[in-house]
Amino acid sequence: MKKYILSAIVLTALFGGSAAQAQSGKKGFTKLFDGKTTKGWHTYGKTTAGAKWKIEEGALHFDPKGDSNGGGDLVTDNEYSNFHLKIDWKIAPKGNSGIIYYVKEDPAKYHQTYSTGLEMQVLDNDGHKDGKIPKHRSADLYDLIKSSSEPVKPLGEWNTAEIICKDGKLEHYLNGVKVVSTTLWDDNWKSLVAGSKFGSWADWGTYKSGKIALQDHGDEVWYRNIMIKQL
C-alpha cells in the first residue's frame, strides 16, 4: 500500500492528476496482444500464426527473412463491429504495412484481407514509393481519404494509431490527432469507393463486422500495445 501511495504521489508530481487518471486511457479496453504469444491471432486462412511473425521485447515483429511459407497477414480470431482500436507501430526504412479492419475471413472467396477490409496505412512516407501517391501515406484511409495532417513521428520511432468506428462513423487518429473522419456505407461512401482502386471489387468495404489484420507487405514492421474496446 505504501508503494502504491508513493507511486501516485510521483505520478502527480511529474504529470499532474492522480494515478487513477494516469490509467484512465486504458479503461474498458481489452488486450488483443499479450506481449508474449500470438494467442488470439492467426495467419489469414490458416489456424496458427506464421513463423515470420515473431515476439520480441513485447512487440509483434514481422521479419520478412526466413521460411517462405511463414508469412501472410495476421488476423484476430474474433470479429468486431463497433470498436475503438489502439495500437503502436514502427516501420523499417522503405517499409510498407497496414492495419486492416472489417475483414471477412473467407479465403475461398476472398484471397486476401484487403479483398474486403479497409486499411489504415502504415508507411515510411519518405522512403517508400507509395509515399508519393495521395491517399497512400501513413494514417490515410488507404486509397480513399487523405489524412488532414501528418503527425507521424520520425522513422524508427513508435507511433500510436487509433481507429474508432461506431454505427458507421469512422475516425482515424495518429499520435492523438484526428486525421480522418467519414461515414461508412452511405451514398457518399459508395461514391468514394467507386472512385478508388476498389471500385470494381465485389463486396469491398461492405461488411459491418469483421476481423482486424496486421499486414505482411514483405517489409519489416513492429506492432505492440494492441488494445480494443467494443462500443
| Per-chain mean pLDDT for the chain | 90
Q: Kindly tell me the burial class for residue 61, based on how many C-beta atoms sit within 10 Å of its own C-beta (0-12, 13-18, 19 or more).
A: middle
Burial track 115-125 (b if 16+ CB lie within 10 A, e otherwise): bbbbbbbbbbb
Predicted pLDDT at 25: 53
Reading the block at residue 39, the C-alpha cell is: 494467442
Q: How far is CA 81 from CA 92, 132, 164, 188, 211, in A?
A: 31, 32, 10, 20, 9
Q: What is the pTM of this model?
A: 0.88
Alpha-carbon distance of 126 to 150, in angstroms, equals: 12
How many residues comprise the chain? 231
Q: What helix, strand, coil percent values describe the chain, rounded to 5? A: 15, 35, 50
Query: What domains does the chain contain, in order, with CATH numbers?
Result: 1-26 (no CATH), 32-230 (2.60.120.560)
Alpha-carbon distance of 95 to 165, in angstroms, equals: 27
Alpha-carbon distance of 214 to 147, in angstroms, equals: 20
Alpha-carbon distance of 6 to 74, in angstroms, equals: 41
Q: Which amino acid is at 141?
A: L
Report the DSSP beta bridge partners of residue 30: 228
Closest CA to 101 of 87, 81, 125, 122: 81
pLDDT in tens, 66-102: 777 789 999 999 999 999 999 999 999 999 999 999 9
Q: Which of 3-7, 38-42, 165-169 has the lowest mean pLDDT?
A: 3-7
Neighbours of 128 (CB within 10 A): 20
Report the DSSP beta bridge partners of residue 172: 163, 180
Alpha-carbon distance of 212 to 74, in angstroms, equals: 8
Q: What are phi and psi of 173, to 5 degrees?
A: -125, 145
Reading the block at residue 94, the C-alpha cell is: 522503405
Helix (H, G, I), strand (E, B) or coil at 163: strand
Predicted pLDDT at 70: 87
pLDDT in tens, 11-55: 333 333 333 333 335 789 999 999 999 999 999 999 999 999 999
Q: What is the largest CA-CA distance in the chain?
A: 63
Q: Using an 8 Å Cβ cutoff, are 189 and 73 in contact? A: no
